[in-house]
Amino acid sequence: MKAMTRFFLLFFIITTASTISTPIAIADEKEVLSKELSTLFRSARKVISVNQKHINDSSLGDKGLSAKAVIAKAKANYKAATGADLDLATNAKAKQAMLNAVMDVMDEAQELINEKGAGFKGFLPAIFARQVATKFTSNMDGKMKIKLTAPKKYVRNRANRPDKWEHKTIESKFKLPSYEKGKPFFENTTVKGKPAYRYIYCRNTIPSLV
C-alpha cells in the first residue's frame, strides 16, 4: 500500500498599510485581527471537512448545511479553538466580510450539495476555502486578502502556488527542525511594490525536502 501524501495548507492575510513604520499598538492590532480571521476561516472550512461524507451521501436530499447553519457551526468551532465567542465589536468590517463570504458560498452551493441521488459533488474543503477567500477579498475591496497555498510540490492549481515571500517563509521558517508547530510568522513588507503587513499560518509541520 502506498503511503498517503499529507497536504500542508497555509493560510495568510495581507493587510495593505499606509506605511511600513506602523506604531506598535497598530502592529499588535493587525496581528490579533489576522489571527482571528485565519481562525474563523479555518473554523468555517472545518464544517465542510467534517461533513464531507454527509455532503456526498446520495441517499439524502437536504443536508442541513444552510448558510445560517454553517455560520453557527463555524462560530462554535471558533469558540472551541479560542475559548471565546467571536467578537464583532472590534474590526467588525473584516470579520463580517468573512462571515458574508461564507454565507454567499453556502447559499450558492445549496442546489449542488442537496442534490439527492448524486454522490461525489466536488464540493471539497479546499474548493469551499478558495471560494470563500475570493469573496472575502472582493468584500474587502482588495484591502485585505486571504489565500491558501503550500510547498510548490503539493500545489496543483498554479493560482495557489506560493509567491516569493511565501516560498521564502516556507523554506526558511516552517521547514526548520526548530519550527514550533502552529506558530504564525508575520512582518511588514511589500506586495507589488506597496507597503503591506503579511501574516502566514502553517497548519502542519513541513518536513525538509533536502
130-179, pLDDT tens digit by residue?
999 999 999 998 888 888 888 888 777 788 888 888 889 888 888 888 88
For residues 193-204, average pLDDT: 82
62-116, pLDDT tens digit by residue?
999 999 999 999 999 999 999 999 999 999 999 999 999 999 999 999 999 999 9
**pTM assigned to the model:** 0.85
Alpha carbon distance 67, 65 (integer Å): 6
More confident residue, 81 or 190: 81
Residues 44 and 109 sit within 8 Å (Cβ to Cβ): no
Biggest alpha carbon–alpha carbon distance for the chain = 57
> What are 149's strand-pairing partners?
10
pLDDT band at residue 21 using 50, 70 and 90 as cut-offs:
very low
Question: Taking the domains of the chain in order of start, what are their residue ranges?
Answer: 10-202
Residue type, 72: A
